[in-house]
Amino acid sequence: MPSKACSVALAGVGAYAASQAFVGPVASPQVGQQQQVRSLRQGGQAAAQDSSSSSTSAVGVLALGATGAFAAAAQVSQRGQRRAQVARQATAVAEKVFTKMPASVKPGVVTGQALVDLLNYAKENEFAIPGVNIVGTNSVNACLEAAKIAGGPVMVTFSKGGGQFIAGKAADNTNDAACIAGTVAGALHVRAVAKLYGVPVILHTDHCQKAWLPWIDALLEASEDYFAKNGEPLFSSHMLDLSEEPLEENIAICKKYLTRMAKINLLLEMELGVTGGEEDGVDNSNVDSSRLYTQPEEVWQTYQELASVPNGNFTVAAAFGNVHGVYAPGNVTLKPEILHSTQKFIKEKLGCKSDKPVSFVFHGGSGSSHEDIQYAIKAGVIKMNLDTDTQWAFWDGVNQYTKKNEPYLQTQMGNPEGPTKPNKKYYDPRVSLRSGEQSMAARLVQAMKDLNCIDRL
């Protein structure tokens, strides 16, 4: 598939990043979609031709009688109408444009230059995108529904454990086989439905420590295969969390992976400092509190190395007291001023005009105050992670449903309306799960308001 050569700016933006831009192949993420639309249109035209020749077909089946001939002609006409309708629907999805977003950003999964444009647009307009951990199609539905309601982009995030859960806890997980298969399957599912919600979607993976790198290696292979067939990677971005390793090793491994990822237009998120608390098998509850706060010099050292990678796009999760989970007030001390001082430090080092040369991400967003979130966004935060709050919201939706309908959820038959009345419509899993989806979507819409991610399309 031929690709277009275009200048790809580094995600760490500013005058320096612009001057260091590299020319690399960036195939349009709409190529496959346009081919599908053309195919559907041709199918519709072919169906119309079939319909116009239906009289000839009728002559050929006179032996069946007039009724059979008319039925055959009607079936041909109906097929033509259905094909034309599908073609029109696909064309409408493909041609939808956003009036506020950069022209490269379209509905559906966003990758490559379009992703860089989206993140830069978020930083320039001081809003952040929610990065939401999901564990199945129900939480995916809630993410996409919230984005549609709010009118903003969303990041769907797969963890290693979430991938295994999607594959099924009984599946063979030798060499992370279930974790890999579930994550890939989840990504393909999101790609299949994302455009139907009419919003930009970032496909991302969460914390990957050093021992879990084989999981990322397999996902990169999946993206490389997808890129060869479709001109874009399967995922939009991956996160490497090597914050427990020495700084030099952290940077070196990230640079090695970014070099590979840049060849297929994948963005890297890397972590400096440690996010406290526990999440999805990573427990930093007892870490030295000094490691919860990143120093500007560490970010500058990282920036220099990663910005030197041709076509390399990256974001930095610099710790400023972040903790996974929800804790009592006073137990967590966020210092977003660290991000402001870091931007100032790097701007001086670069001698650039931009006040925010680095694109930061905010980990451990659940339970954070509105004031801290807003101050962090002003420092160049373009994405905030959410998991604990959305987990609770989903459960609370299911829990409230069961409380409300408790008399109908005790037996298959028999309820306050009579001993022989069936309860199937109450215990159908789709009903309670839908309540979970709606509750999680509502919590996400509130989060998007806190992140200024409302009416951005």
- The answer to whether the CB of 139 falls within 8 A of the CB of 394 is yes
H-run or E-run covering 7: strand 5-8
**CA 298/CA 250 separation, integer angstroms:** 11
**CA 228/CA 370 separation, integer angstroms:** 43
Per residue in 241-250, is it b (16+ CB within 10 Å) or e — as a string? bbbbeebeeb
User: Tokens 């997808």 belong to which residue?
Assistant: 226
**CA 230/CA 227 separation, integer angstroms:** 5
Under DSSP, is residue 58 helix (H, G, I), strand (E, B) or coil? helix
Phi, psi dihedral angles at 403 (to 5 degrees): -65, -45
**CA 223/CA 279 separation, integer angstroms:** 26
User: Tokens 């098998």 belong to which residue?
Assistant: 281
- The answer to whether the CB of 73 falls within 8 A of the CB of 57 is yes
The catalytically annotated residue of 206, 387, 389, 450 is: 206
Q: Is 206 a catalytic residue?
A: yes
Token pair listed for 160: 């290693």
**CA 457/CA 448 separation, integer angstroms:** 13
| Pick from 234, 225, 212, 203: nearest CA to 160 | 212
Under DSSP, is residue 190 helix (H, G, I), strand (E, B) or coil? helix
- The answer to whether the CB of 181 falls within 8 A of the CB of 167 is yes
Parallel, antiparallel, or unpaired for β 5-8 and 22-25?
antiparallel
Catalytic site positions = 206
